[in-house]
């Protein structure tokens, strides 16, 4: 018996619809760790209202790589891979050597030309006919000139003419007669939409200095929110350098972890206006209302620390019980948590099951990895996850407990997560360690 899980979805506007690429994980019963493994595929979904989605093919649009390739398996937040393909060529209507006809439902348009995204094979061609709502040829529009070749935006000609503006607003039907051809899309286009950014692109094209400030919280300022090892501003700089190699671009990362909209207003002059930027990006809101999930007794400690450091913060702290719980029970608790996703997860595996780093049994490694994965949001990181070393609860630590701390540290850092640990020779009470950690985070250090 298998089941299907969705680990993420990237949605992108595409003309009159929204395309999405869900990460679909099919769990099987043949895995080493029981019912926990299986293939993950990138499929295609489409929506016209962002509420109802259709996944028509249920087959991979991006195939899993071979065993010796980097994308042969799933690496959460470890790296970013780039897949490219020609514009809008996700799905096509195909005709073979026997030919075929595709007729649309009646449509109305506001353009002045018809463009098609199509490709033909040897001895192939495509012809377009414009019909009225009743299926009769429209006067003045004979069958189009046959198209052969490969074009992402071929402008259709009817007896040498491309203008179809006289048909604006009228119900018309399109009929495509095809042979050895692939039709990906068609669109009626007119004047290009006004560009919202005018000065910045012009400066980039003419190699003038361009300064960009990215104002935000940790989503802007911290690298792990992108799923890779570069923060969002760094990725903007790299993208612009690729698109405009000669441009002189300066990108300032003004993202500070934990900042709210109030913090943004307080530092607007110093962090933004004083730089005299050409372009500003703004991303705030997640920290204005914070939901925290913590394992006991850290639920109480984080609440005390938050009230001490940020008295005005609105914080909801929920408990994720783990004491005397089986992995199955922890899993069920995690499922309920995901229905009301937290902003911050404080994660600690009990010291009793945290082995010394010198000889960690395989079962302990598996248990730690399993709990860490249930704590993480798959895909784009929707929440912060912070690991806590067992020694935080003790004012004095034995050499054996230091080994357990080191094991936790390695397991947590392997996931590119932050760790709260007791500093060397620090005998402060646990609440002080939490408060100091929180102040450091809010200071952006």
Do the domain assignments include residue 18? yes
Do the domain assignments include residue 80? no
- Does the pLDDT at position 379 exceed 50? no
Write a three-state SS string for 33-94. CECCECCEEECCEEECCCCCEECCCCCCCECCCCCCCHHHCCCCCCCCCCCCCCCCCCCCEE
Q: Which residue did the predictor score with more confidence, 172 or 304?
A: 172
**Quick one: average pLDDT of 145-158?**
95
Q: Indicate the pLDDT class of residue 235, thresholds 50, 70 and 90.
A: confident
* Predicted structure pTM score: 0.45
Handedness of CA 322, 390, 444, 231 (dihedral sign): negative
Q: Indicate the pLDDT class of residue 50, thresholds 50, 70 and 90.
A: confident
CA distance 75 to 72: 10
Give the residue ranges of DSSP H helices in 54-210.
Answer: 199-205
Do the domain assignments include residue 183? yes
Of 283, 315, 337, the domain-final residue: 283
- Does the pLDDT at position 128 exceed 80? yes
The CATH number for 144's domain is 2.60.290
In a shared domain, residues 229 and 362:
no
In a shared domain, residues 40 and 128:
no
In a shared domain, residues 249 and 372:
no
Q: Are 271 and 211 in contact (CB under 8 A)?
A: no
In a shared domain, residues 257 and 163:
no
Q: Indicate the pLDDT class of residue 381, thresholds 50, 70 and 90.
A: very low
In a shared domain, residues 361 and 272:
no
CA distance 302 to 299: 6
Whole-number pLDDT of residue 105: 93
In a shared domain, residues 271 and 300:
no
Of 256, 283, 310, the domain-final residue: 283
Q: Indicate the pLDDT class of residue 295, thresholds 50, 70 and 90.
A: low
Whole-number pLDDT of residue 232: 81
In a shared domain, residues 97 and 112:
yes
Of 165, 189, 213, the domain-final residue: 189
Residue 417 tokens, joined:
């997560």
* pLDDT, tens digit (0-9, with 9 covering 90-100), for 268-287: 999 999 999 999 999 886 66
Do the domain assignments include residue 87? no
In a shared domain, residues 323 and 381:
yes
**Quick one: average pLDDT of 185-198?**
74
Whole-number pLDDT of residue 380: 41
Cis peptide before 112 (omega within 30 of 0): no
Q: Which residue did the predictor score with more confidence, 367 or 139?
A: 139
Residues 6+ apart with CB under 8 A from 95: 178, 179, 180, 181, 182
CA distance 294 to 442: 19
Q: Which residue did the predictor score with more confidence, 444 or 256?
A: 256
In a shared domain, residues 108 and 15:
no
- Does the pLDDT at position 106 exceed 90? yes
What's the maximum distance between 2 C-alpha atoms anywhere in the chain?
Answer: 91
List the domain range (segments joined by +) for residue 115.
93-189
Whole-number pLDDT of residue 75: 59
**Quick one: average pLDDT of 145-159?**
95
Whole-number pLDDT of residue 440: 82
* DSSP string across 315-341: EEEEE---TT--HHHHHHHHHHHHHS-
* Mean per-residue pLDDT over the chain, rounded: 79
Q: Indicate the pLDDT class of residue 369, thresholds 50, 70 and 90.
A: low
CA distance 254 to 57: 43
Q: How far is CA 420 from CA 188, 385, 441, in A?
A: 57, 11, 11
Hey, which bits of 190-261 come out as E strands?
209-216, 248-255
Do the domain assignments include residue 32? yes
Do the domain assignments include residue 274? yes
Q: Which residues of 42-68 are buried (b: 16+ CB within 10 A; e: fewer)?
A: bbbbbeeeeeeeeeeeeeebeeeeeee
In a shared domain, residues 341 and 423:
yes
Q: What percent of the chain has pLDDT over 90?
A: 28
In a shared domain, residues 294 and 435:
yes
Q: For residue 425, count CB atoms less than 10 angstroms from its CB and return exposed for 0-12, middle for 13-18, buried for 19 or more.
A: exposed
Whole-number pLDDT of residue 74: 61
- Does the pLDDT at position 237 exceed 80? yes
Do the domain assignments include residue 324? yes
Do the domain assignments include residue 84? no
Whole-number pLDDT of residue 372: 62
In a shared domain, residues 211 and 257:
yes
The CATH number for 250's domain is 3.40.50.1110
Q: Which residue did the predictor score with more confidence, 274 or 403?
A: 274
Q: Indicate the pLDDT class of residue 370, thresholds 50, 70 and 90.
A: low
What is the count of structural domains for the chain?
A: 4
């Amino acid at each position: 018996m298998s089941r299907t899980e969705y680990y993420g979805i990237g949605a992108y506007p595409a003309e009159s619809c929204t395309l999405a690429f869900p990460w679909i994980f099919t769990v099987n019963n043949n895995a080493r760790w029981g019912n926990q493994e299986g293939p993950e595929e990138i499929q295609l979904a489409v929506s016209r209202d962002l509420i109802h989605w259709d996944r028509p093919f249920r087959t991979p649009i991006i195939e899993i790589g071979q065993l010796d390739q980097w994308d042969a398996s799933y690496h959460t937040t470890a790296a970013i891979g780039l897949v490219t393909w020609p514009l809008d060529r996700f799905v096509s209507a195909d005709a073979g050597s026997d030919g075929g006809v595709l007729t649309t439902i009646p449509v109305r348009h506001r353009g002045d030309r018809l463009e098609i995204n199509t490709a033909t094979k040897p001895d192939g061609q495509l012809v377009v006919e414009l019909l009225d709502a009743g299926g009769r040829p429209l006067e003045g529009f004979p069958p189009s000139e046959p198209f052969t070749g490969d074009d992402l935006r071929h402008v259709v000609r009817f007896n040498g003419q491309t203008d179809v503006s006289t048909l604006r607003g009228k119900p018309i039907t399109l009929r495509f007669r095809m042979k050895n051809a692939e039709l990906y899309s068609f669109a009626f286009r007119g004047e290009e939409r006004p560009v919202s950014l005018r000065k910045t692109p012009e400066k980039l094209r003419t190699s003038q200095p361009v300064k960009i400030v990215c104002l935000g919280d940790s989503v802007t300022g911290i690298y792990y929110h992108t799923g890779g090892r570069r923060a969002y501003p760094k990725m903007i700089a790299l993208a612009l350098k690729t698109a405009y190699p000669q441009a002189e671009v300066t990108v300032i990362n003004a993202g500070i972890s934990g900042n709210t909209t109030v913090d943004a207003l307080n530092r607007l002059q110093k962090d933004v206006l004083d730089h005299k930027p050409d372009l500003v990006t703004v991303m705030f809101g997640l920290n204005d209302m914070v939901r925290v999930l913590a394992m006991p007794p850290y639920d109480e400690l984080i609440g005390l620390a938050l009230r001490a450091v940020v008295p005005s913060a609105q914080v909801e702290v929920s408990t994720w019980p783990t004491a005397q719980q089986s992995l199955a029970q922890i899993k069920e608790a995690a499922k309920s948590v995901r229905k009301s996703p937290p902003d911050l997860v404080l994660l600690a595996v009990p010291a009793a099951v945290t082995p010394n780093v010198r000889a960690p049994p395989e079962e302990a490694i598996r248990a730690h990895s399993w709990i860490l994965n249930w704590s993480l949001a798959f895909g784009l990181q929707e929440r912060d996850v912070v690991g806590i070393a067992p020694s935080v609860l003790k004012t004095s630590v034995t050499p054996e407990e230091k080994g357990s701390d080191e094991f936790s540290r390695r397991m947590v850092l392997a996931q590119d997560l932050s760790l709260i640990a007791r500093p060397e020779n620090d005998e402060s009470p646990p609440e002080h360690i939490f408060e100091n950690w929180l102040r450091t985070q809010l200071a952006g250090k």
